[in-house]
Structure 1
Amino acid sequence: MLFILKSDLLKVKRKWFWLLVFLGPFGVIALQMVNYGVRYDYLMKQQPDVWAGLLENINMFVAPALLLGMTILASQIAALEHQQSSWKQLLSLPVKRREVFTSKWIIVCMMIFISSTLLFLGTVLFGISLKFSVHDIPIFAVLKNSYYPFFAGIPVLCLQVWMSIVFSNQAFPLSVGIFGAVFSLAAYAAPDWVPWKWPLLIGAYDPLWYVIAGLITGSILFLAGMTDFVRREVLS
């Protein structure tokens, strides 16, 4: 497993993947820079708790950015093998198929987790730059706003990795992922059982419910995808 992970990390080392990992959280924070730059006085009056107001504004863009990042990263990592027609060569090595699938999944998870960490740091630094009180930083709330969407979105990540590996033509998984990201912008009124709504952390339940639902559903989809990959003789 460690050998496969090292191999996959080497494949993405000189690619633009890491730029995308940075661009996601940077884009979310940059949008808020513009938002607060244009409407600072209005936003200060709207929410007495300035940190809570900042988190609400950031949360609006976290879900679509997260889902789009999962889609692109999963597609591009799988495309490395598809474009070079190296699946047969890779699977002919003395490695287990489930480890190959798991390695791709771990790489995408790791990158999204790093993006969530950058979002956490960016949120704190941006709040400080707006001269919000350092002593009043709601660390736990910022952590929830940065990491909860990631855990709640695990089912989408598993689905995108699965589809990206199975389909050599990335048009289908990319279309599904982009549609899901766009859908999340207007998913507030969607039923709570829709996974693309869960990263919003908004609905009839506590945000922790969506995290738990994401982890459980994600585990099921991960096992289903890995089982399907192990049983496939030729990737199409």
Structure 2
Amino acid sequence: MLPILQADLLKVKLKWFWLLVFLGPFGVIALQVVNYSVRYDWIMQQHPDEWGSLIQFVNMFVCPALLLGMTILASQIASIEHSQTSWKQLLALPVKRRDVFVSKFLVTAMMIGISSILLFIGTIALGVGLGFGWDFPILAILENSFYPFFAGLPVLALQLWMSIVAKNQAGPLAIGIFGAVFSTYAYEAPDWLIWKWPLMFPGKDPLLFVGLGLLVGLLIITVGVLDFKRRDIA
């Protein structure tokens, strides 16, 4: 597994993946910079809880940005092999197909995890910059930054699976973009829809969706590995 991980990390190092990792959280925070610049007085009057309102505003854009990032990164990491027509050469090496699939998932998940870290840092930096002080609710910011990532792991696993088995990336990208757009209107959708899980619902325990995300994400990875083992990837 380690040599495959190193090879995948080298491949993404030579691409523009890391720019996307940075752009996701930067875009979410930049939107709030604009929001507070335009409506600062009104927000302060309507939302006396400074840090709580900031976390809430940031959260509005976390889910679609996260799902869109998962879609693009999964497609791009699979496209490296598709574009170079190197699946057959890669799978002809003395490596397990399981390790190839899991390695690409781990690399993609790592990049999304780094985006979550940047979102955490950016939220604190924005709040301090707005004059909210250093007495910030670190646990609430951590939850807002990382819970959507863990709850969204099934979407990441599904997007990677589709991207690997489909040589034409139009289908996986269309499904992923639709899911990201759908998530912004998913508050009233059934709880079993995985595109809804990264949302942080008022009045609902987010740990439930985090647990479901980890469990179902592992299940989809397992099914994806089984399918990848028997499939002839061109």
TM class by smaller structure: over 0.9
> Does residue 194 in structure 1 map to residue 193 in structure 2?
yes
Question: Is the contact made by 1:5 and 1:103 (CA closer than 8 Å) also made in structure 2?
Answer: yes
- Cα distance per residue 1:27-62 (max 9 Å; x no partner): 000000000000001111111110000000000000
Percent identity over paired residues: 65
- For 2:128 and 2:181, the matched residues in 1 are separated by 31
C-alpha contact 1:192 1:204 (8 A) present in aligned 2: no
Corresponding residue for residue 160 of structure 1: 159
Report the 3-state secondary structure (helix = DSSP H, G, I; strand = E; otherwise coil) of the residue aligned with 1:133. coil
- Does the alignment pair 1:109 with 2:109? yes
Q: What is the CA distance between 1:229 and its match in structure 2?
A: 0.4
Partner of 1:26: 26
In 1, distance between residues paired with 2:203 and 2:72? 30
1:14-163 correspondence to structure 2 within 5 Å: 14-135=14-135, 137-163=136-162
Counterpart of 1:226 in structure 2 is 225
Structure 2: gaps of 5 or more residues: none
1:184 aligns with 2:183: yes
Task: Give 2:64's aligned amino acid.
Answer: P
How many Å apart are 1:223 and its aligned residue? 0.4
| CA contact 1:68–1:177 (8 Å) conserved in 2 | yes
The CA deviation at 1:101 is 0.3
Q: Identify the residue that residue 208 of structure 2 maps to in structure 1.
A: 209
* Separation in 2, partners of 1:119, 1:204: 23
Shift of residue 228, structure 1, vs aligned partner: 0.5
Q: Residues of 2 paired with 1:36 and 1:203: CA distance?
A: 22
Q: Please report how far the alpha carbon of residue 201 of structure 1 lies from its aligned counterpart in structure 2 after TM superposition.
A: 2.1
Tell me by how many angstroms 1:203 deviates: 6.5
Superposed displacement of residue 103, structure 1: 0.6
Match of residue 233, structure 2, among 229, 232, 235: 235
For the residue of structure 2 that corresponds to 1:134, the secondary structure is: coil
Paired residue type of 1:105: F
Alpha-carbon deviation of 1:204? 6.0
Amino acid of the residue matched to residue 122 of structure 1?
A: G
Where 2:52 maps in the other structure, the secondary structure is helix
Q: Deviations over 1:118-145 (max 9, x none)?
A: 000000000000010212x000000000
Structure 2 counterpart of 1:235, one-letter code: I
Structure 2 Cα separation of the partners of residues 3 and 88 of structure 1: 18
> How far apart, CA to CA, are the structure 2 residues paired with 1:202 and 1:216?
20
Separation in 1, partners of 2:203, 2:97: 40
2: CA distance between counterparts of 1:196 and 1:44?
32
User: What per-residue deviation string (whole Å, max 9, x for no partner) do you get for residues 95-131 of structure 1?
Assistant: 0000000010001000000000000000000000001
- After superposition, give the CA deviation of every residue in 1:68-90 in whole Å (9 maximum; x if it has no partner): 00000000000000011000000
- Find the residue that maps to 1:168 and give its secondary structure: coil
CA RMSD of aligned residues (A): 0.9
Q: Tell me how far apart the structure 1 counterparts of residues 46 and 209 of structure 2 sit (CA, whole Å).
A: 28
